[in-house]
Amino acid sequence: MAEVLVYVDHVDGAVRKPTLELLTLARRIGEPVAVALGNGAGDTAAALAEHGAVKVLTHEASEYADYLVVPKVDALQAAVEAVSPAAVLVPSSAEGKEIAARLALRLGSGIITDAVDLEAGDEGPVATQSVFAASFTTKSRISKGTPVITVKPNSAAVEAAPAAGAVEALSVSFSAQATGTKVTGRTPRESTGRPELTEAAIVVSGGRGVNGAENFGLIEALADSLGAAVGASRAAVDAGWYPHTNQVGQTGKSVSPQLYIASGISGAIQHRAGMQTSKTIVAINKDAEAPIFDLVDYGVVGDLFDVVPALTEEIKTRKG
């Protein structure tokens, strides 16, 4: 059976959920071979094996942390040369897309970004994309070279499928470009203890209607009652009420949770672009005409300062 390379997104050996989803999708088109790079690469093997990786290619070097993107492209290229895979799958983060694009160009291949589903096809893997702010669904494939496809988080349910996960050291020689862009400083983002926005099953978001940084506590309390991540509209982010890393939408994160709750958000096209593929959508807005209501499964026309605390209370009561 053909091998499929899966690029591993991990933090010091802890594999992030989108990679496990990729392993599930990879099994539809072949045998997953994972590529883990940088500090802690070897520690990823157990989690990857549990989710179907037949092999884990690892390489640790300081270049991956000290320089931007290119060292990882060099390593993936070495992995492709070692394995001759039927496809390369990369998680759709900003960096993942850049790595994938440069790799595709080097391989003389095409690239598809932000796939939301993947199937085996007669002429290679067929990717589903959700485009134009999720108003269209397209199916595409790569017609030249080894398909390189990036896949959005939450595109597949993680399935356990124990496999060998044999660790092999990958041999990498860095290109002249590898050290071109130096990382001179790094400030890690402080963890809030809440789930990752793009990986969360439930996202609770606030917009301009929240009317102040201090009021985001209401949104956080609701999120915590549901074990959810917190999102924000660009209006709320631009006003400085919530960090940009939590922005949902075209220029923020694109989320696809089981449940999305929007409070005080009108539903502009650029916001919808980032949340329209959520399975269940709920909105609280005092304007019955707000476009967000066109998307909802359940909507409450009302003041969020009344509805959100009442909802949080009721959830807490029900959960006991």
Partner 1 sequence: MSLRIVVTVKYVPDATGDRHFADDLTVDRDDVDGLLSELDEYAVEQALQISENSDDDVEITVLTVGPEDAKDALRKALSMGADKAIHVEDDDIHGTDAIGTSLILAKAIEKAGYDLVVSGMASTDGTMGVVPALLAERLGVPQVTLLSEVSVEDGTVKGRRDGDAASENLEASLPAVVSVTDQSGEARYPSFKGIMAAKKKPVQSWDLSDLDIEAEEVGLEGSYTTVENAAERPARTAGTIVKDEGEGGKQLAEFLAGQKFI
Ligand X SMILES: Cc1cc2nc3c(=O)[nH]c(=O)nc-3n(C[C@H](O)[C@H](O)[C@H](O)COP(=O)(O)OP(=O)(O)OC[C@H]3O[C@@H](n4cnc5c(N)ncnc54)[C@H](O)[C@@H]3O)c2cc1C
Residues forming contacts to ligand X in the complex (CB under 6 A) are: 110-113, 131-132, 207-209, 233-236, 247-252, 264-266, 268, 270-271, 274, 284-287, 290, 303-305
- 258 is annotated as contributing to ligand binding: no
- 271 is annotated as contributing to ligand binding: yes
Q: Which does 310 bind (CB under 5 to 8 A by kind): ligand X, partner 1, none?
A: partner 1
Q: What is the C-alpha to C-alpha distance for residues 254 and 315, in angstroms, rounded to an integer?
A: 26
Q: What is the C-alpha to C-alpha distance for residues 258 and 101, in angstroms, rounded to an integer?
A: 30
Q: Which does 72 bind (CB under 5 to 8 A by kind): ligand X, partner 1, none?
A: none
Can you name the residues that pair with 206 across neighbouring β-strands? 232, 263
- 234 is annotated as contributing to ligand binding: yes
Q: Which does 306 bind (CB under 5 to 8 A by kind): partner 1, ligand X, none?
A: partner 1
94-107 vs 70-83: helix axis angle to the nearest 10? 50
- 248 is annotated as contributing to ligand binding: yes
- 267 is annotated as contributing to ligand binding: yes
Nearer to partner 1, 167 or 283 (CB): 283
Exposure pattern of 212-248 as b/e (b: 16+ CB <10 Å)? Answer: eeebbebbbbbbbbbebbbbbbbbbbebebbeeebbb
Nearer to ligand X, 192 or 211 (CB): 211
Which is it for strands 14-15 and 10-11: parallel, antiparallel or unpaired?
Answer: antiparallel
Q: Which does 100 bind (CB under 5 to 8 A by kind): ligand X, partner 1, none?
A: partner 1
Which is it for strands 126-131 and 111-119: parallel, antiparallel or unpaired?
Answer: antiparallel
- Residue 241 three-state SS: coil
Structure token digits, residue 88:
């390369």
Q: What is the C-alpha to C-alpha distance for residues 45 and 34, in angstroms, rounded to an integer?
A: 9
Nearer to partner 1, 51 or 102 (CB): 102
Q: Which does 233 bind (CB under 5 to 8 A by kind): partner 1, ligand X, none?
A: ligand X
Structure token digits, residue 1:
């059976």
Nearer to ligand X, 31 or 114 (CB): 114
- 269 is annotated as contributing to ligand binding: yes
Nearer to partner 1, 166 or 310 (CB): 310
Which residue ranges make up the annotated binding site? 208, 233-234, 247-251, 264-271, 285
Which residue ranges make up the annotated binding site for FAD? 208, 233-234, 247-251, 264-271, 285
